[in-house]
Structure 1
Amino acid sequence: MDRKWGSWFRETARSGRGVWYSEGGKLIRMDYSDMYAGALALSEILQEERDCTGTFLAVIWMEQSPGYLQALMAVLLAGGIAVPVHPRATKEEVRELCRFLEAELAIVPGERISAFNRSDTLDGNVSYPAAVMDGECGIVQRLHPNGLRSVHTRSYSPPPEASVIFMSSGSTGKPKGIMLSDCNMLSNVRSIQDYIRLTADDRVLLTKSFGYSSTITGEWLLALDRGADLFLFDGVLHPLELIRLVKAHGITFLCTVPSAVVPWMKSSLWKKEDLATLERMIIVGGAVPPDTLLELKQRIPWVDIMPSYGLTEASPRVSYLPAEELWLRPGSAGIPVPGVEITVRRPDGGEADPEEQGEIFVSGPNVMLGYYNMPERTRETLTPQGLRTRDLGCKDREGFLYVAGRGDTALNAGGHTVYPEQIEAVLATHPAVGSVGVTSYTAEEGERLVAFIEQAGGSAVEAGELCEELSAYVRSTMSPMYRPKEIRIVSGLPITNSGKLDRAALRIWAMECERIVSEGGIR
């Protein structure tokens, strides 16, 4: 199939604009034109190695750097399917992923090549991967005599339109390979650009993992499309470090997550002048409590703050709240991005009335091709009514979307259906709470709600005192059916490989509290 990546990358290969990154303590820029030239050279090596009649899958496991982006471009330019994974994934996780995807190639930095060898990647007569490329110099090491050429018959062949597979475990911990085409991703870039209106004068800060669709589509490809400078920093950064980077590099556009924004409002260690250059801020990956959003807007009134809603299956952006609507609807996920349609449906499939809660469905050119080798799950998700998100919500009478929570995370407490995301959003507003996860477990009296709390950085409140304080806080802010019966202070919450709260693990914590206490996991 003829893809758009070749012409798209060629047209965006500008000189004088590019990716800034730190190397040896110095800030260096790689022009987009140089990035394209390097990717083109790597793609030529891949095309020589591969079977010209077949598509190959390449798992990219590199440090967060321009080299990672070059490798991703090279795979797409060579006609392959790129699978970007989190730089902090373990070698066992990456090798298992190669087996699951029957990936012919792994692209890694030189020091990681030793993670692959014939003896521990062979599965019968087939090796996964069949070859390993050093993403820094382009040298290919074959683990199978045929390398990228046809070494086996696939148990599953992805659609010919597939370009990128993002691995997502969502909130349930079950991994899924979400297949996206060039049309899916580039249509979403156009939709996002329609309301962000990035220009070549913008400076974009990127700190989130390349393993996320939001990072690739909503930050890198968006900056590349407009020729905006991209400032790339690796690692998990403290929320206040984001503010320092905005100030140090004159950042104008930031796409961030609630876990970064909420702590800002609990700290007095920064001044509004630190964000003086910031013009637009998009918040993705979950809801921020409305009061926190309004407080943030009061603190930095010149910044267009736009909460957004999306999912990887939609490439990922589905809706956004226009900046001018924040004061009126701080709890809303906004309106559909251009070219996308959102419907809310009842269990019988009929469209819900305004203010009536139902399941959110999405239609548009951004909707995925399907899940890798999960035909039944794909059929359940890609319905005649559109992409079934399994998220619950409603629209108001003006068409603005409100997301209640995930249908598959709903809890039953005292005969009432409650959504942990709503309880977590309230608890997150407390100044001593850094992050929070709510779940339930079966007790003698029925399902019992429990909240696990990680304290905010700098909080000096004793665990017992904080539990009492939070118990009083939920009594004053929540109706009885939403109040957790137990509050436990933990040193950290379980996180999936995609960076989301691992709710399956959290429920196990709740059911095994005595064991966790004995092992020192709960304070």
Structure 2
Amino acid sequence: MNIWETILKSAEKYPDKIMVMAAGEAFRYSEMLEYSKQLALELSKTGIKRGSRVIVYLNDSPDYIAALYAVNMAGMVFVPLSPQVKDAKLCDILRHSGAEAVITSSELAEVVAAISPEEVPDVKHITVLGSEGDLPGWNWPCCRAAGFVYKKGRPVILEEADWQEDEMTAIFYLWDKNGMPKGIMLSSKNIMTNMDAIIEYLKMTYRDNLLVLKSMSLVGTVTGEILASAAVGATIAILGGITHAGIILKAIQDYKITGFFAMPLMLHQIMEYKRREKYSTDSLRYIQTGAAKLLKSDVEQLMEMYKGVALYYIYGLSEASPRVLHLKPDEMLIKAGSVGRPVKNCSVELLDADKKPCVPGSIGELYVQGPNVMLGYYKNAGLSEEAITPYGLKTGDLAYMDDEGYFYLAGRADNMINQGGFHVYPAEIEKAIRMLDRVSEVNVEGVPDELLGQKIKASVTPKPGETLTPGEIYDFCYATMESSKIPKIIEVL
């Protein structure tokens, strides 16, 4: 499986079709392929070997796409970074990845140059897009810095690398709980099988125009927008991190956008934008959202506001390339609050604390199986073994499943309370106490206890105008819960 084939095939089929638009510039498929090949040839001339890591440190732009394909064509490992990563964090990733090359821009080169070369001795070459020739002011010994400018209409002969499907082709960085880099290793198979699933459920075609609002350094943007659109010959428009509702609506109108992903907060801003009706959104075919709760009332408002537009709720994680679950448009109201069912090429299992399958309605931890599951964490075998278990990828997310196989998130596994050896999930108790009519909000936590290790504490807020006593709540819990799950401390706020 070769990632670069997604652009090659579409460039052969749609050479004159616009592939990407951004800030007044546009690249046709044939031009982006030409740009990528020129940059790949430049990388191959550096002497850096196949499999070496290449940091791509660019603003969201067509250059990012060219760099992604160029690194893959040259047989090197693509390591995307957001320009938000700077100073010590940038140094940490350069050092941890062992990157031998960096692709950056003339605007960001100073950020890279500010790092002490002694801190990152593996870096041998810096390619600065938008500049030409060697950069004389570069003061890193043993590291050449050279400019690169795409020359339109100059095809090059390049033998693209042939990747094994399970060979590491990209590393996407996150941060662990201690603030240290955590590199997610993905193969071509990981990325491409997830890309196929996204294309299928969104019914993507060459007629689509996608608006990119998320950082291009994220695996979701790479898999679900850049590569998916290229694979079908669609067009993408890049706003470069702009999140103002008016600018987004204008882009939808001007670029005739058919689909985009936005966080629920952004959708709220669009819905509340007073001049919203000034812009036409007739071209829209679908909207994806996720990563935060979307209320049923929000779904109803969006469906009323954008009649005929398909609304999807999605769940995923970078370690799964990233898409895992999705809720389809005809399910958004009848299964409000759910994160849906597995996408193609992916399966999910809910396991309790003893690693036994959960029955419907019972809370457990989500485990993911499928070809989209990462290879592991770069240079961290211990963490990889913890995450990739015999049961699948351990997500750390708690959920329950209804009788029809739809999943509902219920918190994180690290919130689990150990009360005298009984493992209790706060979300499960909160869900039960909310069944009491007069309850508005519930917060359950574990508090230290010398005898039990932890005790369950429930803080309960009554509905306006209602009253509750700790005794009433205890009686309700006693009648409806297992004894090991009844809070030892009940506080009425």
2:8 match = 10
Contact 2:7–2:29 under 8 Å retained in 1: no
Q: Structure 1 pair 121/329, CA: closer, same or farther in 2 (3 Å)?
A: same
> What SS class does the counterpart of residue 116 from structure 2 fall into?
helix
> What SS class does the counterpart of residue 342 from structure 1 fall into?
strand
1:36 to 28, 33, 37: 33
1:132 to 122, 126, 130: 126
Using the TM superposition, name which of 230-239 and 165-174 deviates more: 165-174
CA displacement at 1:28 relative to structure 2: 2.7
Q: Does 1:45 align with 2:42?
A: yes
2:373 to 345, 367, 376: 367
2:71 match = 75
For 1:316 and 1:199, locate their aligned partners in 2 and report how far apart those are by CA, in whole Å.
Answer: 21
Q: Structure 1 pair 316/104, CA: closer, same or farther in 2 (3 Å)?
A: same
Q: Structure 1 pair 37/256, CA: closer, same or farther in 2 (3 Å)?
A: same
CA displacement at 1:10 relative to structure 2: 1.7
2:81 to 85, 107, 111: 85
Contact 2:417–2:446 under 8 Å retained in 1: no
CA displacement at 1:277 relative to structure 2: 1.9
> What SS class does the counterpart of residue 5 from structure 1 fall into?
coil
2:195 to 176, 189, 192: 189
For 1:343 and 1:85, locate their aligned partners in 2 and report how far apart those are by CA, in whole Å.
Answer: 32
C-alpha RMSD of matched pairs (Å): 3.7
For 1:472 and 1:245, locate their aligned partners in 2 and report how far apart those are by CA, in whole Å.
Answer: 44
For 2:259 and 2:395, locate their aligned partners in 1 and report how far apart those are by CA, in whole Å.
Answer: 28
> What SS class does the counterpart of residue 311 from structure 2 fall into?
strand
Using the TM superposition, name which of 87-96 and 325-334 deviates more: 87-96
For 1:95 and 1:20, locate their aligned partners in 2 and report how far apart those are by CA, in whole Å.
Answer: 31
CA displacement at 1:101 relative to structure 2: 1.3
For 2:132 and 2:293, locate their aligned partners in 1 and report how far apart those are by CA, in whole Å.
Answer: 42
2:287 match = 281
For 2:201 and 2:386, locate their aligned partners in 1 and report how far apart those are by CA, in whole Å.
Answer: 32
Contact 1:410–1:419 under 8 Å retained in 2: no
Using the TM superposition, name which of 134-143 and 289-298 deviates more: 134-143
CA displacement at 1:30 relative to structure 2: 0.4
For 2:274 and 2:461, locate their aligned partners in 1 and report how far apart those are by CA, in whole Å.
Answer: 25
Using the TM superposition, name which of 320-329 and 81-90 deviates more: 81-90
Amino acid at match of 2:31: D
* Larger-Rg structure: 2
Amino acid at match of 2:84: R
What is the TM-score of this pair, normalised by structure 1?
Answer: 0.73
Contact 2:48–2:100 under 8 Å retained in 1: no
CA displacement at 1:245 relative to structure 2: 1.9
Instruction: State the Cα deviation string for residues 123-153 of structure 1 (Å, max 9, x = none).
Output: 4xx61422211133575779454769xxxxx
Q: Structure 1 pair 369/248, CA: closer, same or farther in 2 (3 Å)?
A: same
CA displacement at 1:257 relative to structure 2: 1.4
Contact 2:19–2:233 under 8 Å retained in 1: no
Amino acid at match of 1:10: L
Contact 1:127–1:144 under 8 Å retained in 2: no
Contact 1:130–1:144 under 8 Å retained in 2: no
2:404 match = 398
Amino acid at match of 1:77: M
Q: How does 1:89-488 map to 2 (within 5 A)?
A: 89-117=85-113, 120-123=116-119, 127-136=121-130, 143=140, 145=142, 161-169=167-175, 174-271=180-277, 274-408=280-414, 417-418=425-426
2:451 match = none
Contact 1:205–1:254 under 8 Å retained in 2: yes
> What SS class does the counterpart of residue 373 from structure 2 fall into?
coil
Instruction: State the Cα deviation string for residues 376-397 of structure 1 (Å, max 9, x = none).
Output: 1100111111111111101111
Contact 2:22–2:61 under 8 Å retained in 1: no
Amino acid at match of 2:64: Y
Structure 2 spans left out of the alignment, 5+ residues: 146-164, 432-442, 449-454, 471-493
> What SS class does the counterpart of residue 71 from structure 1 fall into?
helix
Instruction: State the Cα deviation string for residues 179-226 of structure 1 (Å, max 9, x = none).
Output: 111111111110111111111111111121011111111111111111
For 1:5 and 1:139, locate their aligned partners in 2 and report how far apart those are by CA, in whole Å.
Answer: 29
Amino acid at match of 1:392: L
For 1:113 and 1:64, locate their aligned partners in 2 and report how far apart those are by CA, in whole Å.
Answer: 15
For 1:243 and 1:378, locate their aligned partners in 2 and report how far apart those are by CA, in whole Å.
Answer: 42
CA displacement at 1:328 relative to structure 2: 0.5
For 2:15 and 2:465, locate their aligned partners in 1 and report how far apart those are by CA, in whole Å.
Answer: 57
Aligned-residue sequence identity (percent) comes to: 25
CA displacement at 1:174 relative to structure 2: 5.0
Q: Structure 1 pair 272/287, CA: closer, same or farther in 2 (3 Å)?
A: farther
> What SS class does the counterpart of residue 169 from structure 2 fall into?
strand
For 2:290 and 2:281, locate their aligned partners in 1 and report how far apart those are by CA, in whole Å.
Answer: 19
For 1:374 and 1:476, locate their aligned partners in 2 and report how far apart those are by CA, in whole Å.
Answer: 54
2:485 match = none
> What SS class does the counterpart of residue 108 from structure 2 fall into?
helix
Contact 1:320–1:333 under 8 Å retained in 2: yes
For 2:259 and 2:9, locate their aligned partners in 1 and report how far apart those are by CA, in whole Å.
Answer: 23
> What SS class does the counterpart of residue 170 from structure 2 fall into?
strand
Amino acid at match of 1:180: L
Q: Structure 1 pair 93/473, CA: closer, same or farther in 2 (3 Å)?
A: farther
Count of residue pairs brought into register by the alignment: 427
Q: Structure 1 pair 51/167, CA: closer, same or farther in 2 (3 Å)?
A: closer
CA displacement at 1:111 relative to structure 2: 3.8
Structure 1 spans left out of the alignment, 5+ residues: 149-158, 424-437, 451-470, 482-523
For 1:408 and 1:39, locate their aligned partners in 2 and report how far apart those are by CA, in whole Å.
Answer: 43
